[in-house]
Amino acid sequence: RKPVTIPQFKKMKKEGTPIAFLTAYDYPSAQLAEEAGVDGILIGDSLGNVVLGYDSTLPVTLDDMIHHTKAVTRGAKIPFVITDMPFLTYHGSIDETMRNVGRVMREGLCKGVKMEGGAEIAATVEACVRAGVPVMGHIGLTPQAVHQIGGYRIQGKDSPGAQKLLEDALALEKAGAFAIVLELVTEEVARMITSRLSIPTIGIGAGTGCDGQILVFHDILNYGADIRPKKFVKTYTDIGSSIRQGIRQYVDEVKTGQFPREEHSFKGNNEAVAYLYG
Ligand code: KIV
Ligand code: NA
């Protein structure tokens, strides 16, 4: 397979081929997502919730994002890999924003960035795109604004709200965004916005009418002890339970002397050591 490109995303929208994005945060998950055939990977600032154990995305730093982006781009070469610009790293001067975006791209080696917001960040998006940085927009529920919104709730439910979302989407498209995430918006609104744009919409909790989907790695695999079931998520496998079960058995076998056994032991055999650390 050849690396996925932005022109392909536009083509996929035109031809009605759904686009599959998934988040990833480290080397093994990126490798597995690539092998499984995702079109794009987002190093989401959901990193804060599912990997770092914070209760929102606000504490995530630019250095956190860069650190994890480096790992992901070492693991995945085919999917289009983009990184979330974290809280307050793209709201100062254009100079400061460009410096931050530059660090993410140069050090993380991703192919683009995602930013939360609509018309109010259009000038910022435009500056990035003019500099050659692909930008994915993100409207609807924008978790970095959770304290302003007052919770994680469905957006654009009334007609002024839906109108505002459409205006934001059009502003992002005009600014040069290559795609837009629609998070937690009603199916009707997402479908309406999707039909009005030439760039793909990537839905999360946005129903069946988007050009593509994105979900959080840990959500679809139930990876973690406190992953909560969500209406818009489907759990495809339960690695949380497999991991717990595997670790339990390991601890049990160590405690009862069943592990390690003869076959796991070295007996002055340097060849075996060389093989292991090869
Ligand atoms: O941080 C994240 O994972 C995201 C996606 C779920 C859209 O922003
Ligand atoms: Na995010």
Query: Candidates 144, 214, 232: which one to mutate for ligand 1, based on the most atoms within 8 Å of Cβ?
Result: 214
Kindly state if the Cβ of 97 falls inside 6 Å of ligand 1: no
Kindly state if the Cβ of 46 falls inside 6 Å of ligand 1: yes
Residue nearest to atom 2 of ligand 1 (CA): 44
Q: Where on the phi/psi map is residue 140: left (φ > 0), alpha (ψ -120 to 50), or beta?
A: left
Tally helices (H) and strands (E) across the chain: 12, 8
- Predicted confidence at residue 276, as pLDDT, reads 63
- Predicted confidence at residue 267, as pLDDT, reads 85
Ligand nearest to C-alpha 216 = 1
Kindly state if the Cβ of 219 falls inside 6 Å of ligand 1: no
Q: Is the peptide bond before 260 cis (omega within 30 degrees of 0)?
A: yes
- Predicted confidence at residue 270, as pLDDT, reads 60
Residue nearest to atom 8 of ligand 1 (CA): 44
Residue nearest to atom 4 of ligand 1 (CA): 44
Q: What's the burial of 128, exposed, middle or buried (CB within 10 Å: 0-12/13-18/19+)?
A: buried
**Which residues fall within 8 angstroms of residue 234, CB to CB, at 6 or more apart?**
220
Residue nearest to atom 1 of ligand 1 (CA): 44
| pTM attached to this predicted model | 0.96
- Predicted confidence at residue 187, as pLDDT, reads 97
CA distances from 9 to 110, 122, 136, 137 (A): 17, 21, 12, 14
Q: Which two tokens stand for residue 77?
A: 């070469």
Query: Is the CB of residue 184 less than 8 Å from the CB of residue 206?
Result: yes
- Predicted confidence at residue 40, as pLDDT, reads 99
Query: Is the CB of residue 47 less than 8 Å from the CB of residue 83?
Result: no
Closest atom, ligand 1, to C-alpha of 44: 1
The one-character DSSP state at 88 is: T
- Give the pLDDT means over successive 10-residue stretches in the chain (278 positions): 97 98 98 98 98 97 98 98 98 98 98 98 98 98 96 94 98 98 98 98 98 98 95 97 98 98 84 59
Q: What's the burial of 111, exposed, middle or buried (CB within 10 Å: 0-12/13-18/19+)?
A: buried
- Predicted confidence at residue 273, as pLDDT, reads 61
Report all structural domains of the chain as residue ranges with CATH numbers, in order of start: 6-237 (3.20.20.60), 241-277 (no CATH)
- The H or E element containing residue 203 is strand 201-204
Alpha-carbon gap, residue 28 to 218, rounded angstroms: 13
Q: Quick check: helix, strand or coil at residue 113?
A: strand
Query: Candidates 41, 113, 114, 182: which one to mutate for ligand 1, based on the most atoms within 8 Å of Cβ?
Result: 114
**Residue ranges of E strands in 70-197:** 80-84, 112-114, 135-140, 179-183
**Catalytic (active site) residue 183:** yes
- For residue 212, the cross-strand partners are 19, 202
Cα 13 to averaged position of ligand 2 atoms, centre (Å): 22
